[in-house]
Amino acid sequence: MASDFETVKLHFGKGERPAEILGHFANRHGLITGATGTGKTVTVQVLAENFSRLGVPVFVTDVKGDVSGLSQAGKEKEKLIARAEKLGVKDYKFEGSSTVFWDIYRKYGHPVRTTLMELGPMLLGRFLELSDVQEGVLNVGFKMAQDEKLALLDLKDLQQLLSYMGDNYQDVSNKYGRVTSSSIGAIQRRLLKLEQQGAEMLLGEPAIELSDLMKQDLSGNGIISIMDSRDLIQNPQMYATFMLWLMTELFESLPEVGDQPLPKLILFFDEAHLIFNDAPKALLQKIEQVARLVRSKGVGIYFCTQSPGDVPETILGQLANKVQHALRSYTPKDQKVIRAAAESFRPNPNFDTEEAITQLGVGEALVSTLDENGAPSVVDWVKISPPRCRMGPANDEERKTVMSRSPIGDKYDDDMDKDSAFEKLQKRQEQIEKQKKEAEEALEREKADQKRVRGRRGDTFIEAAGKTVVRRFGTKIVNALWKSFFGKR
C-alpha cells in the first residue's frame, strides 16, 4: 500500500526480524493477550513509551497500579542494557515519560467526569442493567429533557427528572408513550445503588475535555495519560461503561483525518473482556461500528486481556496488530482456546504456533503486525524490548510530584454545580405545588360560601302569609295617607 509520507516504524522487540508497528497502520487497533504473569504489562509500557517518543499521546487504564511506573526512570541493570543491545534498541537509557494521572475516585489522580447527556441512554441503560421496558422509560426521560432544554449532568438531575415524570406520568405518557410508575421506581432504585457505589463521582462537571488527553510536552513527546483503575475495577459495569463512553465520544467528536504517518491518540484498555461481558446485541453492534470507524479519526485501540476468546469475533476481526504472550493448557477448554489463538495467525514454517503459545517465556510473545501492503505478517517468536521506565508502580510521593507539575493543573479538581434539570424541575414543581395550593384554597372558599348560603333558614307558611298580609295592609294605609295630605281639596 503506497503512501504519500515516509513510513515511521515503532520498534518493540526482535525475533527472526524486528517486531515493528508501522506508524500509518498503528490506528488499525491491536490485541495484547496472555496469562497472568507472562509480561503483558511490560509490553504495554514498552509500546506506550515508544508511541510517546514518536509524539503520539497515549491513554492507558492501570488496573493493578504497575503501569504508573511509566512516570519513573527504570533502575539501571546490566541485564536490561545487554538485552536492549541484543534486540537493537536505539538510544536506550533509563527514563520516565511525561505522564498525567487520572482517577474517577480522585485518590490517585485528577478527577474524570462526564455528564449524563454525553453518556446517553444506551450506555446508561447498560450501566444500570435495565430491562428493555425500563430502558424505554429512560429514553423517554432523555427525549423529554432534550425537548424541554433540561440539562442532565449528574445523578440528582436524573433523579429529579424521574420524580417529575412519576408525578406527571399521564401527561408524559400522552406525549411520549406509556410510562409506568413501576418502571420509574425500578430505575430510581438502581440509581440509589449506583450512588452507594460512588458513581456520582463519574457524572458531573467539569466534564473531561478530549483535547486534554491528546497533548504533547515541550519536547514534542506525547503525554501518557494513566487512569488509575484499582478501585474502579471493583465495579466492572462502571469500568466497562467508562471505556465504552470514551471510545464513542472520540468517534463522535473527532474529525476525519484519513491516512496519517502516525495516529492522533492510542488507547490501551486492560481487562478488556469487561467491555463485552453480558453486553446486549445492540451495544455489541455499536462497539463494532466504533472500532471499525474510529480509526479514520486517527485513533488506535489496543485491547489487553488474557485470551483472544474474551473478545467477540466481530471485534476481533478489527484488531490487526497482535501480541500473544503465553497461555497455559490445563483443561480441554484451555486447549481449545490455544488452538483458536494459533489459528488466528499466519503460520511460520519454523515452529508450530499452537505449541509455541504454551512454551513462551516471560517477556516473549508471538507477534503479527501489518506489513507495508496492509496484510498480516507471518507470526514471529519475539523477545520484547526492555522498557526505559520502571517495571513496577510509582509510590504515593512520586505520584504527588508528577501531579504537581501536571499540564492540566487544577482544572478538574473542584466540582461545578450549574443550574441544570434538578434546579429547573424543582422550580417548576414548586410552581405547580403553589398553583395547586391556590386552587385548593379557592375551592375551599367557594365551598364555605355555599355552606353559608345553605345555612340560612327559610320562612314557614304562616310567616310567609303574615308577611303578605302586612305588605298589602301597609300599602292601603300608605295610599290613604297620601290622599289625605296631597289629594284634591
Q: Which three cell numbers stand for residue 402?
A: 508528577
In a domain, 432, yes or no: no
Same domain, 221 and 327: yes
- Residue 273: Cβ within 10 Å count: 16
Q: What is the pLDDT of residue 198?
A: 80
pLDDT at 463: 56
Q: What is the pLDDT of residue 2?
A: 45
Q: Are residues 16 and 163 in the same domain?
A: no
List the beta strands (DSSP E) in 319-478.
Answer: 321-324, 364-368, 380-384
Q: Residues with Cβ < 8 Å from 158, sequence gap 6 or more?
A: 116, 141, 152, 191, 421
For residues 147 and 88, membership in a common domain is answered with no
Q: Note whether residue 450 is domain-resident.
A: no
Residues 336 and 222 in one domain: yes
pLDDT at 452: 76
- 257 and 180 within one domain: no
pLDDT beneath 70, residues of the chain: 1-5, 454-489
pLDDT of 18: 95
In terms of domains, do 236 and 385 share one? yes
Pairing of strands 18-22, 9-14: antiparallel
Q: In the prediction, which pLDDT does 3 show? A: 57
Is the distance from CB of 271 to CB of 239 less than 8 angstroms? yes
Rounded CA gap, 52 and 12, in Å?
A: 13
Measured between alpha carbons, how far is 327 from 335 in angstroms, rounded to an integer? 9
> What CATH number is given to the structural domain containing 94?
3.40.50.300
Same domain, 229 and 86: yes
Q: Report the candidate in 22, 166, 77 with the shortest Cα–Cα distance to residue 391.
A: 77
Q: For residue 150, is it within any domain?
A: yes
Express each pLDDT in 127-164 by its tens digit: 888 888 999 999 999 999 999 998 999 989 999 999 99
Residues 219 and 317 in one domain: yes
- pLDDT score, position 487: 53
Give domain status of residue 342, yes or no: yes
Q: Which amino acid is at 186?
A: A
Same domain membership, residue 382 and residue 275 = yes
Q: Say which residues have a Cβ less than 8 Å from residue 135's Cβ, sequence separation at least 6.
A: 121, 122, 125
From CA 391, how far away is CA 320, in angstroms rounded? Answer: 27
CA distance 347 to 360: 16
DSSP 45-77: HHHHHHHHHTT--EEEEESSSGGGGGGSBPPP-
Same structural domain, 24 and 134: no
* 439 within a domain of the structure (yes/no): no
In a domain, 170, yes or no: yes
Task: Write the CB contacts of 352 (distance below 8 Å, at least 6 apart in sequence).
Answer: none
Predicted local distance difference test score (pLDDT) of residue 459: 56
Same domain, 486 and 374: no
DSSP designation for 114: B
Number of residues assigned to the chain = 489
Q: Would you say residue 219 lies in a domain?
A: yes
pLDDT at 465: 57
Confirm whether 433 is domain-assigned: no
Residues 241 and 383 in one domain: yes
* SS3 (DSSP) at 298: coil
Tally of domains in the chain = 3
Cis peptide before 347 (omega within 30 of 0): no
Q: Are β-strands 58-62 and 30-33 bridged in parallel, bridged antiparallel, or unpaired?
A: unpaired
Q: Specify the pLDDT at position 147.
A: 92
pTM for the full model? 0.85
Amino acid at residue number 43: T
**At residue 79, what is the residue type?**
K
pLDDT tens profile 397-449: 999 999 999 988 889 988 887 777 778 887 877 787 788 888 888 888 888 87
User: Residue 394 is part of which domain span?
Assistant: 9-113+205-404
Q: State residue 489's pLDDT score.
A: 43
**pLDDT of amino acid 474:** 56
What DSSP string runs through 232-253?
GGGSHHHHHHHHHHHHHHHHHH
